[in-house]
Amino acid sequence: THVIGEPCIGVKDASCAAICPVACIHDAGDRYAIDPDRCIDCGACIAVCPVSAIMPIALRPTEWREMPG
């Protein structure tokens, strides 16, 4: 799965949710989040995020690890 981290907080651009082919990105309060059971790892959301908040879970910075989705 891919994950959305701290840079999304307070920005919530939502371009990622609009482009996701399986519509697995949702508003999670202070940020958006990805449903790990539905994400197909296409990577389309990465390029459209203006604050680079999205990446494959394997590359997630350690300071994001407590953030689900």
Binding residues for ligand SF4 (CB under 6 A): 2, 20, 22, 24-25, 34, 39-45
**Among the candidate windows 35-43, 51-59, 60-68, which touches ligand F3S by CB under 6 A?**
51-59
Structure-block tokens of residue 41: 């790892």
51, 57, 60, 67: which one contacts ligand F3S (CB under 6 A)?
Answer: 51
Which residue in the block uniquely carries the two structure tokens 């459209």?
Answer: 48
* DSSP 8-state code for residue 46: H
Residue 51 CB coordination number (10 Å): 14
R_g (Cα) of the chain, nearest Å: 10
Residues that bind ligand F3S (CB under 6 A): 4, 8, 11-16, 32, 48-49, 51, 53-54
